[in-house]
Amino acid sequence: MKILYSNDKNFDIEFDKLINRSNLDMQNVMGIVTNIIEDIKKRGDEALNEQIAKFDHWEVKSNLAITRCEMKNAYDSISDELKESLQVAFERIKRYHEKQLEKTWLSFEDDGSILGQKITAVDRAGLYIPGGKAAYPSSLLMNAVPAIVAGVKDIVVCTPAVGCEVNELLLAAMHLLGINEAYKVGGASAVGAMAYGTKTIKKVDVITGPGNIFVATAKKLVFGDVNIDMIAGPSEIGVIADNSANPHHIAIDLLSQAEHDEIASSFLVTFDADFANKVKDEIYNLLPTLSRQNIARASIENKSAIIVAKDMDESIELMNALAVEHLEIATDNAFDFLPRIKHAGAIFLGHFTPEAIGDYLAGPNHTLPTGGSARFFSPLGVGNFMKKSSIISMNKASIDRLGRDCMNLAKAEGLGAHELSVKVRYEN
């Protein structure tokens, strides 16, 4: 794992590479994904079944749907302890997202006009739940709960089922959440089917959830025909720490993201060179103990870095530039620095707040902007499953007050019918 020093003459060049980590190589898969989606648009289920046979290696001989019976059997088979943990996660995530609910509002103006905003849930939401290198029941909770809280009528789950097998814990989580519609299909095929519909899978209004580069590219291509949450890339963590932190703990936290994927990123920024080297040593001591050590090692050595800054001010400046998905501030006075953090998907404060607690049951959503997109994207939330309609009502008094100005603006833009539509009400 490389250690970069901010006072090195080549630091800016190396740091720019870290900032530009979001350059997903979509161009290499764009043609493949476009063909997948276009085939689904033309041939529907027939194309979908062929793609499942090709990519997931099983023949669709009956329905793609996952039955409620499969979900319940899986739930019944897991331990009571695991059921309780799922329930705790569900309740905490639900309580947090209930605080995000917006309400319809009206404003009554002095001239009699009424202005406002109507908040409405989308009718159908499609949730993409990965199933590649690992199974992620937690991703189902994080995507389904805000949709449930928003009041979405139909929630559709798609997840890859290599060899027709779906992870038991994921099925159990579907049962807990009351999912009624789920399908064994993944990748760009799932995104295309949800976006445009087939005989089996009806079109949705919004697609959320993380995935690999094929999923990310597909979401980018269908955006506009449906809404999406964000274009998510590989997982990442950034840690700002001083020597009050435990190097062993920080090393584990950095590895917690590295074990996700070979192209995941882990960054430590500190102004203590001795602490930086201690963390690096701990990482290499821990790597051989991990079940996914080969994945984690590739991430640590190719996509990650420890940065030694000159002081805390520069540490914060550098981390804001990285705009990471998960940010830990591991200092004794972590809350003092919170106002200065501008760009991060989720912020974890203090020595006893590992990123993993947010992945599962702290409450806030773990579907977060990656690759620096925290500069302009927000975490998944209830708002992703709702839409806003403006409300406008005028009476004669308000038209008399505003009509002349409105006509002037319409006339200046050369839109005569606009001007006339106000004029006939203004003059009567």
**Residues 305, 17 contacting (CB under 8 angstroms):** no
**Residues 93, 175 contacting (CB under 8 angstroms):** no
Active-site hit among 326, 355, 366, 419: 326
Rounded distance between C-alpha atoms, residue 366 and residue 139, angstroms: 8
Rounded distance between C-alpha atoms, residue 270 and residue 276, angstroms: 7
257 labelled binding-site residue = yes
87 labelled binding-site residue = no
Token pair for residue 238? 């950034």
325 is catalytic: yes
In 10 A of CB 421, how many CB atoms? 14
Rounded distance between C-alpha atoms, residue 393 and residue 398, angstroms: 9
81 labelled binding-site residue = no
Rounded distance between C-alpha atoms, residue 121 and residue 104, angstroms: 12
Identify the CA nearest to 226 among candidates 19, 356, 41.
Answer: 41
Sequence-distant (≥ 6) Cβ neighbours of residue 394 within 8 angstroms: 112, 113, 402
407 class by beta-carbon count within 10 Å (0-12 exposed, 13-18 middle, 19+ buried): middle
**Residues 382, 94 contacting (CB under 8 angstroms):** no
260 labelled binding-site residue = yes
Chain centre distance of CA 294: 26
Active-site hit among 236, 259, 282, 325: 325
Rounded distance between C-alpha atoms, residue 68 and residue 72, angstroms: 6
Strands 227-228 and 154-159: unpaired
Helix H or strand E segment including 227: strand 227-228
57 labelled binding-site residue = no
List residues forming the annotated binding site for substrate. Answer: 235, 257, 260, 326, 359, 413, 418
Residues contributing to the annotated binding site: 235, 257, 260, 326, 359, 413, 418
Annotated binding site for Zn(2+): 257, 260, 359, 418
Active site residues: 325-326
